[in-house]
Amino acid sequence: MQFSGLTARLGRSLDLTDAERAAIAHVEQGERRLKAGDVLMAEGGDSNSLYIVRQGWMHSSTRLISGGRQILRFHYAGDLIGTSSIAWAQASTTLTAISDCLVTDLPKKDLGLLFLAQPRVAGLLYAIAAAENVAMSDRLTSIGRMGATERLSTLLLDILARLRVTAGGIVDSFDLPLTQSDIGDALGLTKVHVNRTIRGLERAGVIERNGRRVRIVDEAALIESTGFTDRYGEIATDWLPPARA
C-alpha cells in the first residue's frame, strides 16, 4: 500500500483499523505534481474534488475587489484541502502551490462513499475541520484586534503547531517558504511592515532566522503576548462511533 498523507495525519489522533487505512488509500487517486505558483483550483471554477497534500506547502486565497488578494489559510502535507468549496459546484477560493507540491485528488463522490463505509473517519475529519475553523477564528481575531507584532507571532505559532501534527519531529524550528508578500496578504500588512516586524521579533530575541529556517526561541513569550491556543495538538475522539469490522 502506498504512503497516505491523510492516513498519517488521521493516525496521530486515532488508531486506525486496517479497513479504515485501506478505505482512505483507495480514494487517494490521481497524483499531481505542482511547481511553486501553480494554481490547483481557481476561485469561481468547477469544484468536483477535494485534494490531499502529500508534499509541500499551499495556500487558499480569495481575490479582492481592489485587485489584491487575501490569503485565508496555509496548507501542509497531510491536509485535506478544498473543503471550503464542498457545499457548492464552484470553488470559493483559489488553491495555489507555495513550493513544489505533490497532491492527490479525492473526488467528492468518493468522499461521500468513504463517509458511508467508514463513519469513524468521517467523524474525525469533521472534528479536525471544526478545530481548524476555531483556529481560523483565532487568527481573524488577531488580525482585527491586534498589532502587527501579535499578528505575525500568532501566525508563526499557528504554523509551528500545525507542522508538529502534519510533519512530525518538528520541535522549535521549520523552513518557511513564504515571501513577505505572502505573509502580508495573510495578515493585512505591507511588505515593508512585515520586514520591520520580523526584524523586531529578532531583536527581541524571540525568533531566529537562518535563510528560510525560522527558529522559535521563546515560545512561551510569544504565547503570553498573543494568548495563542494550540487547536491542533489534541482532537477528542471518545465520541466517535465504534470501528466497523
pLDDT of residue 3: 60
pLDDT of residue 168 exceeding 90, the answer is: no
Q: Name the band, by pLDDT with cuts 50, 70 and 90, for residue 28.
A: confident
Whole-number CA gyration radius for the chain: 18
Can you tell me which residue has the cell 517558504? 177
Q: How large is the average pLDDT for residues 193-212?
A: 97
Q: Give the integer Cα–Cα distance in Å for 192 and 197.
A: 9
Q: Name the band, by pLDDT with cuts 50, 70 and 90, for residue 36.
A: very high
pLDDT tens column, 39-77: 999 999 999 999 999 999 999 999 999 888 999 999 998
Coil, strand or helix at 241: coil
pLDDT of residue 25: 86
pLDDT of residue 2 exceeding 60, the answer is: no
What angle is formed at CA 165 by the lines to CA 146 and CA 206, rounded to 5 degrees? Answer: 40
pLDDT of residue 166: 81
Q: How large is the average pLDDT for residues 215-221?
A: 97
Mean pLDDT of the chain: 91
Q: Write out the H or E segment, with its range, that includes residue 47.
A: none
Q: Give the integer Cα–Cα distance in Å for 52 and 31.
A: 9
Confirm if 134 and 236 have CB atoms less than 8 A apart: no
Q: pTM of the predicted model, to two decimals?
A: 0.91
The C-alpha cell at 36 is: 511553486
The C-alpha cell at 186 is: 495573510
The C-alpha cell at 32 is: 499531481
